[in-house]
Amino acid sequence: MTFSIVDERLGVRFACAPDDVVLRAGLRAGLPLAYECNAGGCGSCKFDLVAGEVADLWPEAPGLGERDRRRGRRLACQSRPLGDCSIRMIGRGEPADAPLPQRRTAVLAGTRDLAPDMRLFRFRGGGAAAFRPGQYALLSLPGVEGPRAYSMSNLANAEGDWEFIVRRVPGGRATGALFALPPGGGVAIDGPYGRAFLRTETRPVVCIAGGSGLSPMIGIARGLDAANAAGTASLDFFQGGRSAQDICGEPLLRALPRLGSRLRFHASVSGEDPLWQGRTGMIHELLADLPDSAFAEADFYLAGPPPMAEAVVALLSRAKGVPAERIRYDRFF
C-alpha cells in the first residue's frame, strides 16, 4: 500500500510508502523538491498541508521557527503521511541530476581510526553504490530514534561500499551507537541525497572542510582526481579543526594518484594547542591565501558546522563576489 501525495505548487502527484516521509518519497520519484539537510535543521523543506494528515516525527525540529508553527507549516523531511495528502511546498528545488535515493541494508565491513575522535567506517551491501562525489546518505542505527546524515568519502562502486568519516560527538546518540557497532553489525542506508556534489572536473576546485566536514570534501577530491586524467584542474584543500589532531586529511589526499603538485593543502587550528606549529584562526580567514584568480574561476565546495559554512559563504559571495552557482555546501546540523 502507498499513499498518494499531490504537490499543488509543482502540479505533480507521487506515491509515498507508509513508513517513508514526504520529502524522500518525492525525491525517490525524481521530483525537484527543495531541501538541504534531510535532518530537520535547515528549514528548506517547509510546506503547507492543504488536505490530509501527517505524523510529525520530530515536533521540536529546529528547522521550523515559532512563526512557521503558528502558520501550521511542516517539514517534509519530518512528515510521515497517514493517508493521501495535498501539500504546497514553499521553496523551489533543483532538478534531480544524481542517482535517485533508495533504501538498503548494509553491514559494517571495516573501520580505520584517522584521529582520536575521527573514524572511517566502511559498510557493504545492497548492490552497487550509486552516488555523486560529495553526496550524503541517511543511516538508521540500532536503538537510535531518527536517521542521521553522513557524507560519503569514497566514490560510487559496483561492490556496494559506502564509506563515511565520522567525528564522535561527546554524548551523541548516533555516533555513540556507530562507534560501538561490531564488525558485521547491520544498518539501514538511505541515499544518495544532497546537491553539494562535484559538478565539473575541468575547473579549479577549492574544498573547505570544517571539523567533521572532511568526509564529503575527501569524496570531492577523489572524484576530481579520478575524472581529471588529462591533468588540468587544480585543488586547493582547506581543513580547519579545533586542535592539531583534527588535521588528519592530508595523508588521504596525498595518496591520490593523479593530482600531484596540483594539490595544495592548507590547514588552520582554531583552539589553543601547543602541539600545533601551523596557522591559527578560523578556516575562512585562511581563504585570503588564495590568489584573486581563484575567486574569479574556481568552484567552491564546503561542509561543516553551520556557523563555519555561513561565514565562508558570506566571505565568498559578499566580499569576493563569487556567484552562487559556483558555491556548493552542506551544513551539518
Ligand X SMILES: Cc1cc2nc3c(=O)[nH]c(=O)nc-3n(C[C@H](O)[C@H](O)[C@H](O)COP(=O)(O)OP(=O)(O)OC[C@H]3O[C@@H](n4cnc5c(N)ncnc54)[C@H](O)[C@@H]3O)c2cc1C
Residues that bind ligand X (CB under 6 A): 37, 39-41, 58, 136, 145-146, 148-151, 164-167, 169, 172-175, 194, 212, 215, 330, 332-333
* CA 186 – CA 124 distance, rounded (Å): 10
Shortest spacing between CB 42 and ligand X, in angstroms: 8
The number of residues in the chain equals 333
* CA 292 – CA 294 distance, rounded (Å): 5
Q: Is the peptide bond before 192 cis (omega within 30 degrees of 0)?
A: yes
Say if residues 167 and 117 touch (Cβ distance below 8 Å). yes
Residues 77-116, one symbol each (x = binds ligand FES by CB under 6 A, - = not), give: x---------------------------------------
Binding partner of 156, given ligand X, ligand FES, none, CB within 5-8 angstroms per partner class: none
The window from 29-37, 47-55, 116-124, 155-163 that contacts ligand FES (CB under 6 A) reads: 29-37
- Our CB check for ligand X shows the closer of 294 and 330 to be 330
Binders in 39-78 for ligand FES, by CB under 6 A? 40-45, 63, 75, 77
Shortest spacing between CB 22 and ligand FES, in angstroms: 10
CA angle 251, 197, 165 (to 5 degrees): 40
Q: In Å, how far are 119, 135, 161 from 101, measured between CA atoms?
A: 25, 11, 15
Q: Which residue among 7, 20, 36, 330 contacts ligand FES (CB under 6 A)?
A: 36
- Our CB check for ligand X shows the closer of 215 and 268 to be 215
Say if residues 54 and 22 touch (Cβ distance below 8 Å). yes
- Our CB check for ligand FES shows the closer of 77 and 129 to be 77
* CA 168 – CA 124 distance, rounded (Å): 21
Nearest of 113, 104, 203, 188 to residue 146 by alpha carbon: 188
Q: Is the peptide bond before 59 cis (omega within 30 degrees of 0)?
A: no
Match 564529503 to its residue by C-alpha cell.
216
Binding partner of 43, given ligand X, ligand FES, none, CB within 5-8 angstroms per partner class: ligand FES
- Our CB check for ligand X shows the closer of 26 and 219 to be 219
- Our CB check for ligand FES shows the closer of 45 and 283 to be 45
Neighbours of 231 (CB within 10 A): 10
Match 560510487 to its residue by C-alpha cell.
156
Shortest spacing between CB 233 and ligand X, in angstroms: 23
DSSP bridge partners of 115: 118
Size of the site for ligand FES (CB under 6 A): 13
Q: What are phi and psi of 177, to 5 degrees?
A: -65, -40
- Our CB check for ligand X shows the closer of 12 and 311 to be 311
- Our CB check for ligand X shows the closer of 196 and 294 to be 196
In terms of Cβ atoms closer than 10 Å to its own Cβ (0-12, 13-18, 19+), residue 22 is buried
Q: Does 249 sit near ligand FES (CB under 6 A)?
A: no
- Our CB check for ligand FES shows the closer of 26 and 241 to be 26
What is the SS3 assignment for 289?
helix
Chain positions contacting ligand FES, by CB under 6 A: 35-38, 40-45, 63, 75, 77
